[in-house]
Structure 1
Amino acid sequence: MESIASSLLSLAYRLFQPGLCPGDWAWATSMAGALIALFPVGTAVAVALMRKFTGNRYHGGALAALIALGLVGMFLIPWLLITGVSSVFRAVFRGDPAGLSPQEYSALQQQYCWVGPQDEYLGGKQNVYETLFYPSGDMLSYGYYLGGLVGLPLLVLLAVLLLARIAMRRGPKWPGRLLWVSFVLLVIASAGVESNTAVHLWLGFLPTTVLGVIPVALVGPPSWSTIEDSDRRPERLPEQRPQQPVRIDPREQQQQQTPPPPPPPPAKQYAPTSVAPAPEPPPEQPPGELAATPGPVPVPPGSAPAGSSRFRRVRRLGHGGFGTVWEAVDTQLGRTVALKIAHAPDRETEERMQREARALAALSHPNCVHVYDLVEEPDGLALVMEYLEGQPLAEIVDTAGPLDDVAAGRLWATMASALAAAHSKGVLHRDVKPSNVIIDPSGVAHLIDFGIARSRGDSKLTATGMMVGTPDYVAPETAAGAPASPASDAWQLAATVSYALTGQPPRGTRETPMAALMAAARAEPPTQLPRHSVHAKLLAASLDPQPRNRPTLNTVHREVEGWLARAGTSTDGPVTKLVPRQQ
């Protein structure tokens, strides 16, 4: 190691050797410290790169690699080089060149200012332990050594702590201890180094570790999808027991060789007026995959006579370019429902209604509106849905003002859970906005209007002139023409939460819908974010223009739920209290 240290000193001497006090070799020693500090910085960069692939997986090989990087890069290699440099200077002081060239060896004999010969200054004094605990000089020199041998390592330790924190972004901070604790061991183990040599080495260590923050930050944190995959617990496979040999009785073997019984008779055919058993629902699709058939489609009851309706309409709730929503009463079951009737019952409209029915029928979440039936009304195809008494979030914020952090956190957590449930069934909403979130009188939020939701089976179905989403709340990639994804639903939900906290869309308002759509397609940065909210940082990440950089909905739900728990509340509380409308 002494030969490697002498080569390192020779390289440092060629790179930086100003003829200034306290001497060219003293400055070369600081350059050697800067070169040695590249190993801790490289260790932090390696940890950040490793987390790009492993996320927050700290067990098995990932944990072993993290421990090895900390011990080798933060402690072992720097300690060997530091002690090697000190050994070279001590050997030169004793008259041994220790691998240095004759010119370098003779330069160490030169005297500079008050330090005297450099070989004695760097290799003939007390070590760090002796200087700190058995001082032999005056108080001024002791203060100098105290600042150089204690103050400088503390400043370097702060820089190492910052390196570890940046490398561990978007994850728990405890693995960073494997890095800075190893550096603390390096400082303690360097107590036998010559004190003047140690001061100059730490002088070079400090700027390199501070500037090392830049490459570690440039590596960037792991993507939210990688973190989500690492946080997901692996499924445990059932244990397979070794099969025991089975003895077969000859009589049983003879019975097994007999021909199988005839197939069962075909299923009974029911008469047209009979009620046949309901078919079994299709199996659920695996999470994360868009389902070709997300759920059974409610079929219209064929027993209703033509031109009549079982639903008595009470009042109109909403009217848009696609259809009209009515509050109605089911005269057969005696319950209040929401009736969504299409304007033009052509084939494309019927397909869209069936698509919304499939999307809602596949969901079973307390914060998603429930679908009951799909019926033929005298004026068109109608979707029968759960009637939600309440107000849209847009109306609440417009009349009562923005929500506080707790209410917005509950809104975000419940809506993220509802959308995640929809995505697990293969359904994308694609039009999450404040007017599509209904707050009932108890303050619970519900997600409505899956009118442009799609699944894999109907991905090619489009409506002429229909814009997917509302311009103020459309994700940048979908505004630019890219297909919708769970990340785009997450962007729209974050934009809705930002509106709930500020009363403004995240990109601000535009004069025309086309101007808002162009701003979305250009991925203009949000300008109306709640700067003083505790959710500001997570909102900024969720509104990132790149879908791969956004946290997943499950991550958002976990982060917001954790903050609510630390605030002494939960997601079960109301978003806001409403007074029921007077009939």
Structure 2
Amino acid sequence: MESIASALLSLAHALFAPGFCPGDWAWATSAAGSIIALFPVAAAVVVAIMRKFTGNRYHGPPLIVIGAIGFLLVFLLPWLYANGISSVFRAVFDGRAGGLSQSAVSELGVQYCFVGTQAEYLGGGQNVYETLFYPSGDVFAYGYYLGGLIGLPVLALLGTVLLMRTALRRGPKWPGRLLWIPFVAFVLLSAGVEANTAVHLWLGYLPVTVLGIIPVALVGPPSWSTIQNSDRPPQREQPPPLPQAEERKPPPYVPPEQEQKPPPPPQPPPRQYPPTAVAPSPEPPQELAAAPGPVPVPPGSAGAGSSRFRRVRRLGHGGFGTVWEAVDTQLGRTVALKIAHAPDRDTEQRMQREGRALAALSHPHCVRVYDLVEEPDGLALVMEYLHGQSLATAVDTGGTLDDVAAGRLWATMASALSAAHDKGVLHRDVKPSNVIVDPAGMPHLIDFGIARSKGDSTLTATGMMIGTPDFVAPETAGGAPASPASDAWQLAATVSYALSGYPPRGTRETPMAALMAAARAEPPSRLPRQSVHARLLIASLDPEPRNRPTLRAVSKEVEGWLSRAGKSVDGPVTRVVPRVR
């Protein structure tokens, strides 16, 4: 190992060897420490590049590769070089060449300032263990060695941890242990290195470790799509079908008119019965209707054309229909009744689509649908009535949310939308007015009125605009089909509004101007820059859908931040308001 270490020392001496105190070979030792520090930097760069393809998949081969990189580049090679360099200086002090040239050996015999000859300074003193545990009695010298042999390695450890955390961005940090634990082993097992040599090695090692964060950061984290693919559970391979003794071929198709029907079985002759007395015939039974019709109205109930829902007050009115607070007179509960304006075919399809979308969901933060009924003035969707106010009203009257409340809002709504996407349902109109905050401060996602399931035909009604201009995703405003990424953009815009009180692109004078700004993908100008969620908001509001984090990734990151802050995810997002009875 002395020959390899002497080659490294000679290279370091050629690169940096100023001729002033404490000597050119002492400074060459610091340069050698800088070269040794390139190994853990290379390890972090390799891990960051590997994650570009594997994402957060830390099982099997990726975990073995990270462990091997940590052992080789963070522990083994630095340890071998550090001990080899110390052995070279001890050999020169003992009168041997140690793999160096004769001119180098003669230069090590030159005296500099207070250190004496460099050979004695670098190879003739105590090692690290002896210096720390058997001090000479000089308080100043012992303080110097404490700083150089303990302080510098601790700072280098912090730099190594930062290196690994930078390489593991957008993912769990625990794999970094496979990289910084080998560094700790390197420090502990280098106790046999000569103390002065170790101090100079650490003086060169530390700055390169800190500056090494720059190339690791330039590699960048893996894309959100790679992270999403790595988070998916592996699909199990289906076992091959069992071999069959004989493959049965289906019978050839025969048209129904050509089929030979078997002759009917012979019927026995009718049995003759003696005549009996004729009894009075009862009432003829009522025949079932050939086609299903309305349920017969029970006695005492309202007649045809009446409604089982007694309307209390109007909750909202828009271009599609009117929403009423109503009472179900049969079940005795308060419901929200959404009645369409014009009962045409497209309207019925839209109502049925919303009913299917909500009926397919089962999430505590999504409004529930009860029924789809025919009212005297049109088709109506019977939904859960949520007591509370919209998020838009809560922000207008009570002020913006803090980071904790916004994090809870983001995490719960992301979970609700993810559940909808798992059922193949897109919301397509996420905005503050479509989030209801109940008296307990819990948010609920409502109004799937323009939601569309996979496989449904797209409506082409004239003048129908999908979404609200201030909160519509750029690709949707430009005419591209909606996607889970567009729902994620609208949710991020809603959270940004809750934090700042403004839509992310600001307000426009007319809806058309807001729509044009969305179609041009104007960058957000009213983001809450002081929020801890600012970085994630910028990523979620990226104009390119493929660059945005998925809703599951957002939920995981926000929930992690709440957990580190000591807050629960299921807490209120606004001040709890006593319910009015």
What interval of TM-score do these two structures reach, taking the shorter chain for normalisation? 0.7 to 0.9
- The whole-number CA distance in structure 1 between the counterparts of 2:580 and 2:533 is 32
Deviation, 1:84, is 1.7
Within 5 Å, give how 1:120-269 maps onto structure 2: 120-136=120-136, 138-224=138-224, 226-227=226-227
- The whole-number CA distance in structure 1 between the counterparts of 2:132 and 2:141 is 11
- The whole-number CA distance in structure 2 between the counterparts of 1:7 and 1:517 is 67
Distance 1:471 1:160, change over 3 A: same
- The whole-number CA distance in structure 2 between the counterparts of 1:27 and 1:339 is 82
Deviation, 1:383, is 3.8
AA partner of residue 193 (structure 1): V
**Equivalent residue for 1:433?**
431
Deviation, 1:214, is 1.2
Deviation, 1:431, is 0.9
Cα distance per residue 1:246-301 (max 9 Å; x no partner): xxxxxxxxxxxxxxxx99xxxxxx975466xxxxxxxxxxxxxxxxxxxxxxxx96
Contact map agreement 2:500 2:526 (CA 8 A) in 1: no
**Equivalent residue for 1:505?**
503
- The whole-number CA distance in structure 1 between the counterparts of 2:564 and 2:99 is 63
**Equivalent residue for 1:448?**
446
Distance 1:271 1:17, change over 3 A: farther
Give the structure with higher Rg (CA). 2
- The whole-number CA distance in structure 2 between the counterparts of 1:208 and 1:490 is 40
Contact map agreement 1:2 1:88 (CA 8 A) in 2: yes
Deviation, 1:455, is 2.5
Contact map agreement 1:406 1:564 (CA 8 A) in 2: no
**Equivalent residue for 2:361?**
363
Deviation, 1:407, is 4.8
Distance 1:137 1:467, change over 3 A: same
- The whole-number CA distance in structure 2 between the counterparts of 1:180 and 1:227 is 24
Contact map agreement 1:410 1:575 (CA 8 A) in 2: no
Contact map agreement 2:160 2:209 (CA 8 A) in 1: yes
- The whole-number CA distance in structure 1 between the counterparts of 2:2 and 2:511 is 72
2:552 aligns with one of 547, 551, 554? 554
**Equivalent residue for 2:491?**
493
State the SS of the aligned residue for 1:446. Answer: strand
- The whole-number CA distance in structure 1 between the counterparts of 2:144 and 2:437 is 67
Deviation, 1:536, is 5.5
Deviation, 1:524, is 1.6
- The whole-number CA distance in structure 2 between the counterparts of 1:561 and 1:24 is 54
Within 5 Å, give how 1:406-485 maps onto structure 2: 407-441=405-439, 443-458=441-456, 460-485=458-483
State the SS of the aligned residue for 1:192. Answer: coil
Contact map agreement 2:354 2:451 (CA 8 A) in 1: yes
Deviation, 1:35, is 0.9
Whether 1:29 aligns to 2:65 is no
- The whole-number CA distance in structure 2 between the counterparts of 1:109 and 1:391 is 84
State the SS of the aligned residue for 1:484. Answer: coil
Within 5 Å, give how 1:229-378 maps onto structure 2: 273=290, 308=305, 310=307, 313-328=311-326, 336-345=334-343, 347-374=345-372
Within 5 Å, give how 1:9-28 maps onto structure 2: 9-28=9-28
**Equivalent residue for 2:528?**
529
Contact map agreement 1:409 1:564 (CA 8 A) in 2: no
Contact map agreement 2:160 2:180 (CA 8 A) in 1: yes
Contact map agreement 1:413 1:571 (CA 8 A) in 2: no
AA partner of residue 446 (structure 1): H
Distance 1:301 1:580, change over 3 A: farther
State the SS of the aligned residue for 2:429. Answer: coil
Contact map agreement 1:39 1:73 (CA 8 A) in 2: yes
Distance 1:560 1:8, change over 3 A: closer
**Equivalent residue for 2:8?**
8
Contact map agreement 1:474 1:492 (CA 8 A) in 2: yes
Contact map agreement 1:307 1:378 (CA 8 A) in 2: no
State the SS of the aligned residue for 1:457. Answer: coil
- The whole-number CA distance in structure 2 between the counterparts of 1:502 and 1:516 is 18
Distance 1:115 1:478, change over 3 A: farther
1:400 aligns with one of 378, 398, 401? 398
Contact map agreement 2:110 2:118 (CA 8 A) in 1: yes
* Runs of 5+ consecutive residues of structure 1 not aligned to the other structure: 244-261, 264-269, 276-299
State the SS of the aligned residue for 2:425. Answer: coil
Please identify, of 33-42 and 126-135, the stretch whose mean Cα deviation from structure 2 is larger. 126-135
- The whole-number CA distance in structure 2 between the counterparts of 1:194 and 1:331 is 91
Deviation, 1:184, is 1.8
Distance 1:187 1:321, change over 3 A: same
- The whole-number CA distance in structure 1 between the counterparts of 2:48 and 2:422 is 31
Deviation, 1:449, is 1.4
- The whole-number CA distance in structure 2 between the counterparts of 1:172 and 1:130 is 40
Deviation, 1:202, is 1.2
- The whole-number CA distance in structure 2 between the counterparts of 1:150 and 1:439 is 55
Deviation, 1:123, is 3.0
AA partner of residue 82 (structure 1): A
AA partner of residue 467 (structure 1): M
Cα distance per residue 1:386-445 (max 9 Å; x no partner): 444432221222223334556545443432332121111001111111111123455443
Deviation, 1:177, is 2.9
- The whole-number CA distance in structure 2 between the counterparts of 1:559 and 1:539 is 12
**Equivalent residue for 1:45?**
45
State the SS of the aligned residue for 1:367. Answer: coil
Distance 1:564 1:61, change over 3 A: closer
Deviation, 1:332, is 6.8
Contact map agreement 1:508 1:528 (CA 8 A) in 2: no
Distance 1:137 1:545, change over 3 A: farther
Cα distance per residue 1:313-343 (max 9 Å; x no partner): 5543322233333445567766654443444
Q: What is the RMSD of the two structures over their aligned residues, measured on CA atoms?
A: 4.1
Give the alignment's TM-score, normalised by structure 2.
0.77
**Equivalent residue for 1:279?**
none
- The whole-number CA distance in structure 2 between the counterparts of 1:494 and 1:217 is 25
Please identify, of 447-456 and 510-519, the stretch whose mean Cα deviation from structure 2 is larger. 510-519
Distance 1:395 1:140, change over 3 A: closer
State the SS of the aligned residue for 2:455. Answer: helix
Cα distance per residue 1:344-401 (max 9 Å; x no partner): 5555444433433332232233432333444566665544444444322212222233
Within 5 Å, give how 1:78-117 maps onto structure 2: 78-101=78-101, 103-117=103-117
Distance 1:519 1:204, change over 3 A: farther
Distance 1:541 1:373, change over 3 A: same
* Runs of 5+ consecutive residues of structure 2 not aligned to the other structure: 243-260, 263-286, 298-302
Deviation, 1:79, is 0.6
**Equivalent residue for 1:118?**
118
AA partner of residue 503 (structure 1): G
